[in-house]
Amino acid sequence: MTLNAENHFLSQLKALASDIISEADLERYLQVSQKRKKPLRVKFGIDPTFTDVHVGHCVPIRVLRLFQEAGHLPVLILGDATARLGDPTGRNDQRPALSAEEVEHNATSYFTQIGKVLDLSEGACEIHRNSEWFSGMDFFEVLRLLSESTVARLLERDDFQKRMEKKLPVHLHEMAYPLMQGWDSVQVRADVELGGNDQLFNLHMGRQLQERHGQQPQVCLTTPLLLGTDGRKMSKTYANHIPLTASAKDVFGKVMSLEDDAMESWFRLATSVSSEEVRALLEGHPREAKGRLAQEVCAWVHDEPSAQAAADNFVQQFREKQLPTDIATFTLEAKDWPLPTLLKELGLCASTSEARRMIEGGGVRVSQNVCTDVRFLLTLEIGKEVVLVQAGKRKFAYVQGT
RNA sequence: GGGGAGAUACCGAAGUGGUCAAACGGGACGGAUUGUAAAUCCGUUGGCUCAGCCUUCAGAGGUUCAAAUCCUCUUCUCCCCA
């Protein structure tokens, strides 16, 4: 890498980072790596506790890709050992411990999703499960690991402190969590570890453990958390996340529902649009700016053509109030259907009660006409034309009798 | 081991015998409006064969005409003392 390219790489990293511990180390490691023609080992860990990887997780993954493109080696840690403990992070409900099968299932789904953003092929990256080293540990080895830190040190963790203040439970095994994560770093001899900025404490632990075990301490690089559709941090528990599995249309729509104020950080963290261009966009019409943002994110999660299609579709459906082009057709028994039952049957509403409320609120249309009669009967006959049923602005279905 | 406090709907949080399917806030959904599934305003927010009925306030019993509310036991959490 030339000096210029290296500077460019560094500034790209810095643009995405919220903390780099420490920049000096990072620069030094990069130089050494180049001199010895030895790629840096860049660690990123995820626990397969649920199936959806969302756009928020992807900020560190984007950084990881930057490293990969610069010739370094991503080292992915799948926290299958940690996941099976059932870590009740930050909440007082006990997440049920996952079975080996569930972990396996989630892991597969994770890699398919991450594969969209990162090159996971042989040689391009390294993948480990932390059960590789944790499942063989006996109790005394566990104790030895626990002895590597102190209660006071662990209690410094922001998340623990907040929960203590709020008088929420902090379980003992959670205290072991940072140590386990740190131990991963020792095992894979990480040069750099990435994570969201809520991970800083855990990343520090890796540094500490590595030094205690005679390794050079990893650089900790954290990224800001992407905000969800409601302005809080993106998290599945807030249901404000954009899953990577969401359809192009959905990704587009969800980005469009971000608050205007969130656009700047989204552009920076989730797209590669240059800062000059972002500035220009933000000075222009917010709708256009957000449309561009949505298209960028969409193209990144899916691809260019589907992003374009989603954009066109959005304009047609919401600005020009046209019908979407991909309305599914359902075939139901030919008879008189009470409207609420029909809406539930078509999956447009979760329950007949919800359907009733929506009907009363004027959110339901049959053949383009608003229907506020809860007792409306829709007659389906064999061979008759399909009927368009709409619930809210986003849910449509065609029905016909059989 | 001793003492005290607590567990409420998606989340947070009121409610301490009937007027409670349960205030309020957030989220979500719907409507109006628009610049977009932004913002703002209004409405809805357990289920059903829906003017009625059924199941909910950690779990199991009990008292009562009537319990989220009172009693007993169980489970879990927090705080103080040891």
Paired tokens of A167: 């008088």
* Of A87-101, A240-254, A332-346, A380-394, the least confident: A87-101
Distance of CA A257 to the CA centre of its chain: 17
Paired tokens of A80: 């299958």
- Work out the average pLDDT over A347-366: 95
SS3 category, A212: helix
What are the C-alpha distances in Å from A227 to residues A155, A223, A370? Answer: 27, 12, 36
DSSP β-bridge partners for residue A378: A337
Q: How many residues does chain A have?
A: 402
Backbone phi and psi for residue A121, each to the nearest 5 degrees, phi listed first: -70, 160
Asked if this assembly's ipTM is beyond 0.95, the reply is no
Nearest protein residue to the C1' atom of B28, measured from CA: A239
Q: A329-401 falls under which CATH superfamily? A: RNA-binding S4 domain (3.10.290.10)
- Protein-to-nucleotide distance from the CA of A339 to the C1' of B40, whole angstroms: 32
Q: A3-223 falls under which CATH superfamily? A: HUPs (3.40.50.620)
* Of A98-107, A301-310, A318-327, A370-379, the least confident: A98-107
**Fold observed for domain A248-319:** Tyrosyl-Transfer RNA Synthetase (1.10.240)
- Protein-to-nucleotide distance from the CA of A324 to the C1' of B37, whole angstroms: 14
Q: What is the pLDDT of residue A7?
A: 83
Cis peptide preceding A22, ω within 30 of 0:
yes
Nearest protein residue to the C1' atom of B50, measured from CA: A353
**pLDDT, tens digit, for every residue of A92-149?**
344 455 667 777 888 888 888 888 788 898 888 999 999 999 999 999 999 999 999 9
CB A178 within 8 A of CB A157: yes
- Protein-to-nucleotide distance from the CA of A235 to the C1' of B53, whole angstroms: 39
CA–CA gap between residue A30 and residue A105 (Å, rounded): 36
Please list, in sequence order, all residues whose beta carbon lies within 8 angstroms of the beta carbon of residue A62, skipping any fewer than 6 positions away.
A16, A117, A269, A270
Domain locations in chain A as residue ranges: 3-223, 248-319, 329-401
Above 70 in pLDDT, residue A51?
no
Domain A248-319 and domain A329-401 have a common topology: no
- Protein-to-nucleotide distance from the CA of A167 to the C1' of B5, whole angstroms: 12
Closest CA to A244 of A12, A236, A122, A312: A236
**pLDDT, tens digit, for every residue of A238-291?**
778 888 888 899 999 999 999 998 999 999 999 989 999 999 999 999 999 999
Q: What is the pLDDT of residue A5?
A: 77
Smallest CA–C1' separation from A230, nucleotide? B27
Paired tokens of A87: 């870590």
Above 50 in pLDDT, residue A88?
no
Please list, in sequence order, all residues whose beta carbon lies within 8 angstroms of the beta carbon of residue A267, skipping any fewer than 6 positions away.
A273, A278, A281, A282, A293, A296
Percent of chain A at pLDDT > 70 equals 95
Distance of CA A17 to the CA centre of its chain: 17
